[in-house]
Amino acid sequence: MSCKSTPPHAGMSRRIFLGTTGAAGAAIAVGSREVSAQQPRTGVAPDAHPKIELTVNGYRRTLTVEPRTTLVEALRDTLGLTGTKIGCNLGQCGACTVLMDGRRVNSCLVLALSADGAEVTTVEGLANPDGTLHPMQTAFAEHDAFQCGYCTPGQIMSAIACIDEGHAGSADEIREYMSGNLCRCAAYPNIVAAVEAVRDRKEG
């Protein structure tokens, strides 16, 4: 599924898509205990299915999780946003990088319950509603900054944050601040080139 054939912000179709998968997620909770995540005294029981609220790519979503559900599982399995990848699932490879409240994080190490109320941006939220890709997505394509593509969504999220944080001053600095995203195809030189290109376009 390419970004072009299904633009991430495709207006109504996207809303319907999310609504459907969200309903499927909620249906899992039928017959089990639905509780709020905010129960300080007694806590959320191990077999409970608490509801959390996330704002994902600008859309407010209510979803049902387990205590052990991680943010990446909530995004992929409950909301159907499979652009975010699971690599090591241990916070080492960066494939699951998303922006949470404006900061890049490894979504495999964030518990969904801890993320309750957060604003999340995934790779699906980058392109314009008309399907125009984010400049970083375009730069990755232009600079051939991937081979197999599995790490690419995480690389792109991290690359956007790298520039926004002001850590793209030199190739060395980009390498340092992109070091949390591993690429087993070793597309690193082209990833650095893509980040430099977007940085220069912004500055120019």
Partner 1 sequence: MRNYTYFKPKSLAEAIDAVRESGGDILAGGTTVVDLMKIGVREPSALVDITGLTMLEGHEIGPDHIRFGALARMGHVADDKALTAAAPVMTEALWKAASPQLRNVARLGGNILQRTRCPYFRDTAYANCSKRRPGSGCAALEGGETNHHAILGGSSSCVAMYPGDWAQALIAFDADVHTRGPGGQRTIAFADLHRPPGETPEIETILQPGEIVTEITVPVVPALKASHYLKARDRESYAFATASAAVGVEMDGDVVRDARIALGGVAATPWRARAAEDSLKGKPLTEATAREAGRIAFADARPLEGSAYKTKLGADVIAGALMTAKSRANGGK
Q: Note whether 170 binds partner 1 by CB under 8 A.
A: no
Does residue 78 belong to the site contacting partner 1 (CB under 8 A)?
Answer: no
62 scored as a contact of partner 1 (CB under 8 A): no
The reply on whether position 104 binds partner 1 by CB under 8 A is yes
The residue (of 40 and 204) whose beta carbon lies closer to partner 1 is 40
Pick the binder of partner 1 from 2, 4, 31, 46 (CB under 8 A). 46
Q: Which one of 8, 9, 25, 44 is in contact with partner 1 (CB under 8 A)?
A: 44
**Pick from 204, 190, 110: nearest CA to 122:** 110
Residue located via tokens 């946003």: 81
Element (H, E) at 174: helix 171-177
User: Is 109 one of the binding residues for partner 1 (CB under 8 A)?
Assistant: yes
The answer to whether residue 74 forms part of the interface with partner 1 (CB under 8 A) is no
Listed ranges 1-9, 32-40, 79-87, 133-141: which one lies at the site for partner 1 (CB under 8 A)? 32-40
DSSP 8-state code for residue 132: P
Q: How far apart are CA 198 and CA 9, in angstroms?
A: 22
Report the sign of the C-alpha dihedral through residues 146, 203, 100, 7, in that order.
negative
Out of 34, 53, 144, 165, the only residue in the binding site for partner 1 (CB under 8 A) is: 165
CB neighbourhood size of 15 (10 A): 12
Using CA atoms, how far apart are residues 35 and 38, in angstroms rounded to an integer? 8
Site string for partner 1, 111-140 (x = CB under 8 A): x-xx--------------------------
- The DSSP bridge partners found for residue 98 are 105
The span from the CA of 104 to the CA of 62, in Å, is: 22
Which member of 31, 40, 60, 130 binds partner 1 (CB under 8 A)? 40
Minimum CB distance to partner 1, residue 141 (Å): 24
Q: Is 190 in the site for partner 1 (CB under 8 A)?
A: no
Q: Are strands 59-64 and 97-100 parallel, antiparallel or unpaired?
A: unpaired
Q: Is 67 within 8 Å of 50 (Cβ atoms)?
A: yes
Tokens at 87, concatenated: 């690599």
List residues binding partner 1 (CB under 8 A). Answer: 37-41, 43-47, 50, 66-68, 70, 89-91, 94, 97, 103-106, 109-111, 113-114, 158, 161-162, 165, 167, 175-177, 179-181
